[in-house]
Amino acid sequence: MTARSSLTVVLAAGEGTRMRATLPKVLHPVAGESLLAHVLAAASKGEGARLAVVIGPEHHSVEQEVKRLRPDADVFVQRERLGTAHAVLAAREAIVRGADDLLVAFGDTPLISAETFARLRAPLATGAAVAVLGFRAADPTGYGRLLLRDGRLVAIREQADASEDERKVTLCNAGVMAFDGRKALQILDRIDNANKKGEYYLVDAVAIARDMGLEAVVIETSEDEVRGINTKAQLAEAESVMQTRLRQAAMEAGVTLIAPETVYLAADTTFGKDVTIEPFVVIGPGVSIGDGAVIHSFSHIVQASIGKKTSVGPYARIRPGTSLGDGAKIGNFVEAKAAILEEGVKVNHLSYIGDAEVGANTNIGAGTITCNYDGFGKHKTLIGKGAFIGTNTSLVAPVKVGAGAYIGSGSVITADVPDDALALERSPQTVREGGATRYRESKLRDKKPKGA
Ligand code: UD1
Ligand code: CA
C-alpha cells in the first residue's frame, strides 16, 4: 500500500483573551514547547504530510513559530473571525492543491496524540468522507453534541442551537475533523452561517456530507486528550497531563525516576540507558542525558548535553550551551553556562563555570569562578586537560590555563598560565607568635571596667 498524502490545517486564529497575557495563546509553553509545537508535531507527521496554519491578523510571532518548527508550512491569515469553517477556508489555496486526507486541528488543543490523529484518518481510507473526533464529556455544556441515528453520525449541534433533548447528549465534538481530501471543498463550500451565532461552523460538514449521501463517522477518545486551553488554569492542567505522559514514557524507556511526580521533563528530553533521576529535578527543553548518568535532587538543566556515567548535583544548575563529557562530575551548588567540560572533569562544589572549555580530567576546586563578564562583554576561559585549579580561584577571562597546570588556592588569575606551570597569586602570609593570646587579653582588659 502506498502512503496516503495528507494536508493538515491547524486553526490558530484564537484571540486567547482569557489567558490575560501578552503572549498569543498558542505560544504558551507546555513541557517546554509551545501549544502550537505540540499540535504540529502530533497532527502533521510523516512523508507527504503538508501543513497549513491559519493565524489571526498581526500574529507575526505565531507565524515565526510556525516557520521555526516547519519551514515548509504555509501560513494563512484569517482577517475576520467568522467561524471555524471560515477559518479552514482561509487555507483554500492549500486545500485546492489536493491531498488524500484533509485534517483540521485546533492550535489550542495540545494533548491529542499522533496515534489518535492516525486513528481519525483511518476511516477515510475505507470510504468515509468525514471523521469526527468525539469524547464523552463529564459536563457537555459548551461543546458541540454528536447526534446519532441508528448508531450513525448524522449531525453536530452547537450548544446555542441545541434543543433541550440534544443538550442531554454527552458524546461531544472534540473539534478535530478529517475529510476525504477530494470531497472536502465541496462540503466546506456548502457551509453557511444560518445559526444563532451567525458563524460558519465546521461542524455543519457532517449534516452536509449526509445530505450528499456520504458517510460520516465518529472516532472516540478520552476527555483528557481533547482538553482545549483557554485559561492559565487549563494551561496548568495540560502541563500536568503532559508531565504524567512524559514520566511514563521515560520509565517505559528504562529511566529510573524515584519520585516521578516531582520530576519535570520537556517533550524533547532524550535519555540513554540506565539513567537515574532523583526527586525534584527540573529539565527544560533541549536536554540529552547519556547512558548511566545520575541526576541528583534539586538540579535544573536546560539546553545541555549530559555525557555517559556523568553525575550532576544535588543542587546543580546546568544552563544552555553546556556539554558535560562522559564521567564528568558536577557537584552541589555548581552553575555551568556555555561550558564544554570534557570527559572526567570534576567540579564538585560551589563553582561558576561560564563561557569555558575545560580539558579532560581537570579538577576544579571548590569556589572557583570564571569571571566571564566585564560589564560590557563575555569572555572565554580555556583550561587544558589534566589541570588542577585550586580552591577559591578567580579566573579573569579572557584567560588560558595550560594542560597539566596547577593553580594555587585563592589565586586571581589574570594572565595566561603555560602547560605544566604552577601559578600562585596571593599576598604573603604573616604570622605573629602569641598574637592571638595578646589580642584576647587586650579585649578582656577593655571589657573589665564595666563589670568591676
Ligand atoms: C468548537 C466546535 C465544538 C467543539 C469545541 C471543542 C465548531 C463550530 N465548534 O467550539 O463543536 O465541541 O470546539 O472544543 O467548530 N477559530 C479560528 N477562527 C474562527 C473561529 C475559531 O481560527 O473564526 C479557531 C480558534 O482559535 C480555536 C478553534 O478554531 O482554536 C475553535 O474555535 P472556538 O471558537 O474555540 O470553538 P468552540 O466554540 O470552542
Ligand atoms: Ca474552544
The domain spanning residue 12 has which CATH number?
A: 3.90.550.10
- Is position 444 within any domain? no
* Domains: count for the chain: 2
Range of the domain at 221: 7-226
- Is 349 considered catalytic here? yes
- Is position 94 within any domain? yes
Question: What's the Cα-to-Cα distance from 365 to each of 330, 335, 360, 396, 407, rounded to whole Å?
Answer: 11, 13, 15, 16, 10
Establish whether residue 134 lines the binding site of ligand 1, counting it when its CB lies within 6 angstroms of any ligand atom. no
- Is position 449 within any domain? no
**Are the CB atoms for 5 and 50 separated by under 8 Å?**
yes
Same-domain status, 246 and 202: no
Residue 397: strand, helix, or coil: coil
- Is position 431 within any domain? no
Establish whether residue 179 lines the binding site of ligand 1, counting it when its CB lies within 6 angstroms of any ligand atom. no
Of these residues, 59, 300, 349, 379, which one is catalytic?
349
Sign of CA dihedral 373, 374, 380, 386: negative
- Is position 183 within any domain? yes
Q: Report the atom number in ligand 1 closest to the C-alpha of 83.
A: 23
Same-domain status, 279 and 218: no
- Is position 439 within any domain? no
Same-domain status, 121 and 259: no
235 CB-contact burial (10 Å; exposed 0-12 / middle 13-18 / buried 19+): buried
Establish whether residue 128 lines the binding site of ligand 1, counting it when its CB lies within 6 angstroms of any ligand atom. no
410 CB-contact burial (10 Å; exposed 0-12 / middle 13-18 / buried 19+): middle
Same-domain status, 42 and 89: yes
Residue 184: strand, helix, or coil: helix
Same-domain status, 50 and 128: yes
Same-domain status, 45 and 169: yes
> pLDDT tens per residue, the chain (452 residues)?
568 899 999 999 977 888 999 999 999 999 999 999 999 999 988 777 999 999 999 889 999 999 999 999 999 999 999 999 999 999 999 999 999 999 999 999 999 999 999 999 999 999 999 999 999 999 999 999 999 999 999 999 999 999 999 999 999 999 999 999 999 999 999 999 999 999 999 999 999 999 999 999 999 999 999 999 999 999 999 999 999 999 999 999 999 999 999 999 999 999 999 999 999 999 999 999 999 999 999 999 999 999 999 999 999 999 999 999 999 999 999 999 999 999 999 999 999 999 999 999 999 999 999 999 999 999 999 999 999 999 999 999 999 999 999 999 999 999 999 999 999 999 999 999 999 999 999 999 988 766 55
Same-domain status, 92 and 182: yes
